[in-house]
Amino acid sequence: MYLQHFGFNEFPFTLTPNLHYFCELDAYREALDLLLVSLANGEGFIKITGEVGTGKTLLCRKLLDNLGEEYLTAYISNPNLDYFNLQKAIAKELEIPFAETTDQYGLLTILNEHLIKFCHEKKHVVIIIDEAHILSDQALDGLRLLGNLETESTKLIQIVLVGQPELDKRLNNTNMRQLKQRISFSYKLPTLSSSELDIYLYHRLAKAGYEKPHHTLFSKKGVRMILKASRGVPRLVNILCHKALLLSYGHNKDKVNPAMVKMAIHDTESVEKTPRERTINLVETIGFICLLALLGVGSYFIGSQIALRFL
């Protein structure tokens, strides 16, 4: 679409968590440092929370990429499982063999035996649970029991819980107090500030091959509009920037002006809109739909419901 038009080597604002685009803003560097230091010190449970779209999965991948050979890791990205199946998923991730007919107690015994073996081999076992807020109470309590496995001097397993703020609410329940007490360190990922958004845009554009300063592409007013509408959530920033670039390309513009950002905001769910921005005249809407149809937007991450809700 617009790669050659703007001089990109690749799309700068894709939604896929890609380590190539990991931006080491202060908060993400602090979160990563906390994880690495806590794991090196053998802490039992660590918790990372953040709103939807703040980069939690990308942080998980960055952590996995930074852990050395002395670590054995199990990354569980879809923990919507009962505890027994969660045990199975962890065992498979750690490449621990077990028969499919093994019952829950038998699997726990096998896990314990292998964890002791890994400990003797000077290996640190780390379980990372992404989307941990969707874990059932049974699975959360099961992880607590799994975290109890230890020798006389060290934990056999360390568990990183990564989830939305709902995870904190779950842990504040009385029945979760035992698990909550076992969390040694926690960190909450913030949204982007105005200065951080500038750094974020520059970083992603540069990684995509754009050789000019980002403000030559996005006007200052447009950036302010993106920050306000996205509330500083990186995923929403990406969506708005991609749509604004797409519209600018369709209008043969070399720069993203506020009008293009305004149209991108109009078309995007989950962003903040002023009362004036919630309205769009019929001519703009029809032109927007026709433009997107000509550009074949459906093949990218803008869905088939583009702009129709405004009619």
Spatial CB neighbours of 55, under 8 Å, sequence gap ≥ 6: 17, 28, 189, 234, 235
Contact 134, 80 (CB under 8 A): yes
Q: What is the pLDDT of residues 173-209, one digit of tens each?
A: 999 999 999 999 999 999 999 999 999 999 999 999 9
Domain locations along the chain? 26-189, 194-310
Q: Give the mean model confidence (pLDDT) for residues 161-172.
A: 96
Query: What is the DSSP code (8-state) at residue 57?
Result: H
pLDDT band at 152 (very low <50, low <70, confident <90, very high): confident
The CA distance from 211 to 294, in Å, is 28
The pLDDT score that the predictor gives to residue 274 is: 63
The pLDDT score that the predictor gives to residue 56 is: 97
How far is C-alpha 211 from the chain's CA centre? Answer: 27
The CA distance from 140 to 38, in Å, is 20
The pLDDT score that the predictor gives to residue 236 is: 97
Residue 84 CA: distances (Å) to CA of 37, 59, 109, 136, 237? 30, 27, 13, 12, 39
pTM of the model: 0.86
pLDDT band at 310 (very low <50, low <70, confident <90, very high): very low
Whole-number mean pLDDT of the chain? 88
Question: Does the pLDDT at position 157 exceed 90?
Answer: yes
Cross-strand partners of 45: 159, 183
| Residue that has been written with the tokens 């990564």 in this structure | 162
The pLDDT score that the predictor gives to residue 68 is: 93
Residue 120 CA: distances (Å) to CA of 38, 42, 87, 123, 201? 20, 15, 22, 7, 46
The pLDDT score that the predictor gives to residue 291 is: 57
Question: Does the pLDDT at position 309 exceed 50?
Answer: no
Question: Environment class of residue 158 by beta-carbon count within 10 Å: exposed (0-12), middle (13-18) or buried (19+)?
Answer: buried
The pLDDT score that the predictor gives to residue 294 is: 59
Q: Say which amino acid occupies 202.
A: Y
Q: What is the pLDDT of residues 39-90, one digit of tens each?
A: 999 888 999 999 999 999 999 999 999 999 999 999 999 899 999 999 999 9
Question: Does the pLDDT at position 113 exceed 60?
Answer: yes
In the CATH scheme, what is the code of domain 26-189?
A: 3.40.50.300
Alpha helices in the chain (DSSP H): 3-6, 26-40, 56-66, 83-93, 104-120, 137-147, 166-171, 177-181, 194-207, 220-230, 234-250, 258-266, 282-295
Question: Does the pLDDT at position 215 exceed 80?
Answer: no
| Short-list 227, 294, 219, CA closest to 265 | 227
> In this structure, is the dihedral angle defined by the CA atoms of residues 229, 235, 241 and 245, taken in order, positive or negative?
negative
The pLDDT score that the predictor gives to residue 278 is: 52
Cross-strand partners of 72: 125
> At 189, phi and psi to the nearest 5?
-75, 130
Count of alpha carbons within 13 angstroms of residue 254, beta-carbon side: 3
Residue 204: how many CB atoms within 10 A of its CB? 23
The pLDDT score that the predictor gives to residue 305 is: 40
The pLDDT score that the predictor gives to residue 63 is: 97
pLDDT band at 1 (very low <50, low <70, confident <90, very high): confident
The pLDDT score that the predictor gives to residue 38 is: 94
Q: What is the pLDDT of residues 283-307, one digit of tens each?
A: 454 455 555 555 555 444 444 343 3
Query: What is the DSSP code (8-state) at residue 10?
Result: S
More confident residue, 245 or 302: 245
Strand pairing report for 71-76 and 158-163: unpaired
The pLDDT score that the predictor gives to residue 283 is: 44
Q: What is the pLDDT of residues 267-283, one digit of tens each?
A: 898 887 765 555 554 34
